């Protein structure tokens, strides 16, 4: 079934008219029962694969009946067969059951997407031949027409997949990803660290192996003294996308970071991190987003009353810059000029930022701690100055709520995703987005930059995760397997892996280079809202609406991966059932959903959430 679906959203009427060549409405139940009987009586090895047809055929046959105004037949068809569908399609079936008239189909986005994007099934050649022979012998043209019109069957050579293997990968709104969707090369390596001379203190003599070479590109987090100077073979070229130059203050921050790093705790199964929990008490405003600066000095909270609040969590208070008249009196040459421009009279532990006109769903500090981004239900992303605590820019592009936003690890660029089903890449000094990442079939709930800033990952309510190339805006990976909307994403510090969490309570692990699912962590009983790897990637922390933080052994999860070419080619993935072995600890809060997690530079875990009295 080699026809390729056109990616654009075609006109609704054109899409729906595909339902005109219909069969006899009274025969639909018979067609479906006939196919069901055939599949259930086929050999075990084919049955699991062919069972994937049940759901998309059920939906399309139902819609065809509704579209052609056979409302009673549609209702009886739905009632007879909806119980046979897999449990993870319950939410979609609920939407479907409310579409009972032709008019309903016009305005329904979910259905429009189901119509326009072909449902993808991966089936071995043997199973496919069996199906084709059956449908053609039976003269069962109605079903065969639907298969050709609305399904995309990705045929592979080799053994049919087992029920477990299929269950691991299906469940998204449009079926699985086509295999070629995950074939393109991804540069998942890290960019080279710039070389910075570390001034020698009495306490650290290890700075000597740093040669003072001229500055290169802006550094990334987690440099430990002198990392190897060799370019990572999987890294993108240093200048593949333009990154901002390093300022002097950034260099100082790097040096601080290196010093902190020498005191970093090496984590592992025998050495778990302490967890410091920041509980927002009496947050009647409704806490909807949290972020912590990389150096763990500031915490920002976004609230449902449309405010953003910034706290200092160190003894150092927050101060704003003096008024212009006072600034002109300052000697600009003095060493402590940055200290002198601050107005002591404004010092306080908390600053409140007013400007949004709806709940604030995303917050992100810039790496240099000069700016804060917030995204809101009002459709805007705002950039705030942390020098003056005022709003500098309101970025308008999304017409609907913006669910998440995040700064690039190098600053300057940021990404946002929202209800309009696209993610946008922005630069702080442009009013318009630089890239628009379109392809998801439902809201984009979360957005994350890859550590090398060349890629952006998005998690969506269509139950897929996509990886986008910042350079050209192309989608380079589509990961399917979650059974509910995705609410959290995080990249491993080495850039090779991605962890994703969803409303199904599972955390899935992905190998970016091979485009494969490599693990599944079961344990949470509710939505996973936050995920973070420790600074060296040994531990994955997950926080959930079930009021727990769980720590997982990331080293063990990623070792001995079967990423041979065969697995990649066919998607025969065998996930070990080892969640219990990988779970290193579960930490309950009294009654506080965990909204945000953060590892400090010394590997202490900071967690945050708002206490919800029962």
- pLDDT of amino acid 249: 82
- pLDDT of amino acid 112: 62
Pairing of strands 371-376, 360-365: antiparallel
User: What distances in angstroms separate CA 543 from CA 210, 424, 462, 498, 551, one per listed residue?
Assistant: 38, 26, 22, 16, 9
- pLDDT of amino acid 229: 56
Which stretches within 41-154 are classed as H helix?
44-50, 54-67, 71-81, 90-97, 102-107, 109-116, 125-137, 141-150
369 neighbors 327 (Cβ within 8 angstroms): no
**Main-chain dihedrals φ then ψ at residue 256, nearest 5 degrees:** -55, -45
Go through the domains of the chain in sequence order and give each one's CATH number: 21-176 (1.25.40.500)
DSSP, res 77: H
- pLDDT of amino acid 217: 41
- pLDDT of amino acid 459: 95
- pLDDT of amino acid 193: 80
**Backbone conformation region of residue 99, classed left if phi is above 0, alpha if psi is from -120 to 50, else beta:** beta
- pLDDT of amino acid 218: 42
Q: Retrieve residue 331's tokens.
A: 């000697």
For the chain, helix (H) and strand (E) counts, in that order, are 17, 29
**What's this model's pTM, rounded to 2 decimal places?**
0.85
Residues of the chain with pLDDT under 50: 1-11, 202-228, 566
Q: H/E element holding 477?
A: strand 475-480
Distance CA 612, CA 588 (A): 14
């Amino acid at each position: 079934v080699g026809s390729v679906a056109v990616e654009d959203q075609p006109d609704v009427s054109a899409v729906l008219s595909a339902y005109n060549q219909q069969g006899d409405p009274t025969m639909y139940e018979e067609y479906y029962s006939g196919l069901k009987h055939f599949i259930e009586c086929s050999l075990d090895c084919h049955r699991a694969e062919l069972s994937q047809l049940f759901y998309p055929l059920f939906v399309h046959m139902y819609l065809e009946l509704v579209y052609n105004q056979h409302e009673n037949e549609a209702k009886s068809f739905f009632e007879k067969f909806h119980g046979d569908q897999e449990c993870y399609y319950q939410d979609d079936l609920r939407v479907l059951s409310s579409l009972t008239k032709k008019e309903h189909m016009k305005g329904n986005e979910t259905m429009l997407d189901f119509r326009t994007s072909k449902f993808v099934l991966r089936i071995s050649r043997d199973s496919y031949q069996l199906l084709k022979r059956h449908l053609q012998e039976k003269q069962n043209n109605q079903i065969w027409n639907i298969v050709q019109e609305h399904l995309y069957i990705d045929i592979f050579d080799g053994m049919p997949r087992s029920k477990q293997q299929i269950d691991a990968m299906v469940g998204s709104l449009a079926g699985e990803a086509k295999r070629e969707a995950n074939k393109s090369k991804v540069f998942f390596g890290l960019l080279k660290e710039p070389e910075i001379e570390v001034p020698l203190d009495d306490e650290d003599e290890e700075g000597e192996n740093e040669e003072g070479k001229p500055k290169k590109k802006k550094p990334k987090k987690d440099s430990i003294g002198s990392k190897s100077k060799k370019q990572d073979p999987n890294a993108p070229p240093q200048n593949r996308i333009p990154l901002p130059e390093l300022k002097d203050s950034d260099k100082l921050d790097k040096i601080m970071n290196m010093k902190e790093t020498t005191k970093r705790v090496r984590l592992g199964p025998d050495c778990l991190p302490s967890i410091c929990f920041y509980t927002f008490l009496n947050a009647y405003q409704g806490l909807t987003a949290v972020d912590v600066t990389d150096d763990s000095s500031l915490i920002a909270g976004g609230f449902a009353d449309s405010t953003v609040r910034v706290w200092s969590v160190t003894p150092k208070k927050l101060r704003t810059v003096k008024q212009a008249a006072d600034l002109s009196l300052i000697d600009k040459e003095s060493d402590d000029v940055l200290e002198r421009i601050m107005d002591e009279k404004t010092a306080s532990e908390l600053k409140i930022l007013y400007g949004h006109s709806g709940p604030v769903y995303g917050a992100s500090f810039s790496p240099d701690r000069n700016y804060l981004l917030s995204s809101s239900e009002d459709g805007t992303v705002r950039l705030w100055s942390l020098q003056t605590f005022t709003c500098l820019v309101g970025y308008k592009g999304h017409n609907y709520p913006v669910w998440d936003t995040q700064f690039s690890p190098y600053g300057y660029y940021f990404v946002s995703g929202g209800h309009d089903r696209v993610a946008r890449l922005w630069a702080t000094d442009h009013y318009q987005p630089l890239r628009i990442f379109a392809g998801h079939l439902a809201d984009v709930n979360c957005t994350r930059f890859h550590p090398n800033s060349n890629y952006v990952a998005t998690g969506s309510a269509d139950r897929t995760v996509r990886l986008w190339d910042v350079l050209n805006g192309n989608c380079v990976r589509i990961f399917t397997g979650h059974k509910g909307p995705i609410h959290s994403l995080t990249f491993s510090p080495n850039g090779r892996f991605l962890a994703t969490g969803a409303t199904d309570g599972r955390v899935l692990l992905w190998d970016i280079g091979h485009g494969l699912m490599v693990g599944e962590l079961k344990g949470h009983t509710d939505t996973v809202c936050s995920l973070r790897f420790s600074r060296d990637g040994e531990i994955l922390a997950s926080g959930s609406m079930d009021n727990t933080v769980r720590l997982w052994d990331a080293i063990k999860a990623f070792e001995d991966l079967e990423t041979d070419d065969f697995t990649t080619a066919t998607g025969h993935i065998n996930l070990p059932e080892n969640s219990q072995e990988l779970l290193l600890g579960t930490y309950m809060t009294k009654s506080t959903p965990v909204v945000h997690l953060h590892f400090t530079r010394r590997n202490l875990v900071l967690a945050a959430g708002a206490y919800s009295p029962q």
